[in-house]
Structure 1
Amino acid sequence: MTDQAPTHELPERGPAANAELALLLEVAGTPKPGNVDRHRDLADLRFEHFLAGAVGARLGLDRAAAGDPVGEAFETAVAGMSQQSGGNTQFGCLLLLIPLVRAAAAGDCTREGVREVCEATTVDDAAGFYRAFEHVDVAVADPPEEMDALDVRRGADAVPTLRECDLTLFDVMEASASPGDGHGSDANAREWVDGFPRTFRAAEAIRADEGPIADRAARAFLELLAEEPDTLVATNHGREVAREVCDRAASVDSLAAAEEWAAELVDRGINPGTTADLTAAALFVALERGVDV
């Protein structure tokens, strides 16, 4: 009779783990012009801050996978992400990932599945979203004058107005997606309202691509950046600069060319962070759909 070590079947990564991995892979992808990656830091935001932010967000991602309310899961993820010295690393990424994780945990990581999650959000979810702004500074455009009481930068102070107006988180995203009156539209909000079309298209591009997944992430980032102007660039530098960056991305034909451009954007302080958010979301969907790491 011989002693045999017991065999244990290793569990598969679940949606929360895939979301954490997507955050790590997003920042590891390089080059992503203007963004922190494994080759370059920004003046006050470093690669290590993003690693710590991804790990810190895990509790909120776990809550989303467990079916907790979207707003509570999001605020928990942002609070955990903020526990590093760099400040806001992945607020926008988490805004996209939380409903995706909820949908995936329910067995429906599709545009229809995540649309259902978003449309089912409540006023309480909106309150959680607003409270999340109290954990980190987030660059956002000024709202239309008539929506000043609902400026997200007011944080919890805006919650009574939310409740008075009976606005769900989906309603808030819908207002941000098409604010009108010359105010810019937020790309992440449009994903929420439209069923994450760019996220799922980029995920399929990552799946169809070849080579290391960090390289695929970098190529997906460039394709997304060439597709339309980046919201964060428009907020910080104006729409003309955002269009210039978009057009330049469309002319980049290799990662080597992107590497040369990356230093220029860092020097100019131009950070296409919204495009990085979409890249993280696309990586999550690709991982959920079987991309190997």
Structure 2
Amino acid sequence: MQTRTPAQHARLALLLEVAGTPKPGNVDRRRDLADLRFDHFLAGTVGAQRGLEMAADGAGVGPAFERAVEGMSAQGGGNTQFGALLLLVPLTRAARDDLSQPVVEAVVEDTTVADAAAFYRAFEHVDVFVADPPEDMAPLDVRRGADAVPALEERGLTLLDVMAGSVPGDDVAREWVTGFERSFGAAERLAEAEGPPLDRAAAVFLSLLAERPDTLVADKHGEDVAREVQERAVELHERRAVETDREAVEAFADDLVDRGINPGTTADITAAGLFIALERGVLEV
């Protein structure tokens, strides 16, 4: 019988995601990045608590997300889980009723201009890497934070509208307009995987990295590098299906860290999948 609340499962999902290893290119319990450490992620998870509780209590997605990001940012590393929280907040809100794709779709469809404004304000709490927008969209550049809210309100854009405008190019936003398709798929893979939860999290991360080029990698390093990373993940994922080759995955993880290549979007979707699997009781911790 489940004894944890949706907000507790959301925090646990963040912890399981960062602790899973090897997770090529990302912080895990054995690897830090140059300016971002494992302990920063632990502190970010603790800080996100109040915002996740707001979502579980039925607060608007935008204010709950802004509060979660504000708390997450209260550690020395900067942005640890911005993208993951952008997925977990609506999922946690949906879990009040029924954690299914139709309910999550209804949650994001009900978002308002005020939710979008809160999303923009969240960028004032932490630096988030965002690709430059087209020139005609400069007034709506999220990096402007609250300064962009008047333009947002003038155009009457809801938070779902903002997410839709980021597709293609941002696979976290893509989840919002596809019914969290990959997140629910990741939960199914976690249920089918073998081994303890942390091993499952690492394996599902690799499978997601093999599935599509990571959009954060594409934004930072170009599409060719993103495809290179995906192709290497495909090779290792296929090999892993027939034999245990942890050393090869470990070497891939070390190589990406050394090159500063961080598939953060894939980690965000892994966290969302972990939350769904925990809520549905198909992943026991």
- Spell out structure 1 runs of 4+ moving beyond 2 A: 253-256
Separation in structure 2 between the aligned mates of residue 208 and residue 114 of structure 1, nearest angstrom: 23
Deviations 1:205-230 (A, max 9, x none): 00111111000000110010011111
Specify every segment of 5 or more residues in structure 2 that has no aligned partner in the other structure, as ranges: 241-245
Q: CA deviation at 1:160?
A: 0.4
Instruction: Name 2:20's counterpart in structure 1.
Output: 29
Residue 137 (1) aligns with residue 121 (2): no
Match of 1:16 among 7, 21, 25: 7
Deviations 1:39-60 (A, max 9, x none): 1111111000000000100100
Task: Describe the SS at the equivalent of 2:176.
Answer: helix
Deviations 1:258-292 (A, max 9, x none): 11111100110000000000000000000001021
Instruction: Name 1:46's counterpart in structure 2.
Output: 37
> Per the alignment, do residues 30 and 161 of structure 1 end up closer, same or farther by CA in structure 2, a change over 3 Å counting?
same
Instruction: Name 2:175's counterpart in structure 1.
Output: 191
Task: Describe the SS at the equivalent of 1:121.
Answer: coil
Separation in structure 2 between the aligned mates of residue 52 and residue 190 of structure 1, nearest angstrom: 28
Match of 1:239 among 223, 231, 234: 223
Match of 2:204 among 220, 224, 232: 220
Q: CA deviation at 1:257?
A: 1.9
Question: What does 1:267-282 align with in structure 2 at a 5 Å threshold?
Answer: 267-282=258-273
Residue 207 (1) aligns with residue 198 (2): no
Residue 168 (1) aligns with residue 158 (2): yes
What root-mean-square deviation, in Å, do the aligned CA atoms of Structure 1 and Structure 2 show?
A: 1.0
Q: CA deviation at 1:11?
A: 7.5
Q: CA deviation at 1:256?
A: 3.1
Aligned AA for 1:222? L
Deviations 1:164-209 (A, max 9, x none): 000000000010014xxxxxx2101110011000000110000111
Residue 97 (1) aligns with residue 88 (2): yes
TM-score by length of 1: 0.93
Q: Highest Rg: 1 or 2?
A: 1
Aligned AA for 1:125? D
Task: Describe the SS at the equivalent of 2:231.
Answer: helix
Separation in structure 2 between the aligned mates of residue 201 and residue 122 of structure 1, nearest angstrom: 27
Residue 260 (1) aligns with residue 260 (2): no
Instruction: Name 2:213's counterpart in structure 1.
Output: 229
Aligned-pair identity (%):
67
Aligned residue pairs: how many?
Answer: 277
Match of 2:275 among 272, 276, 284: 284
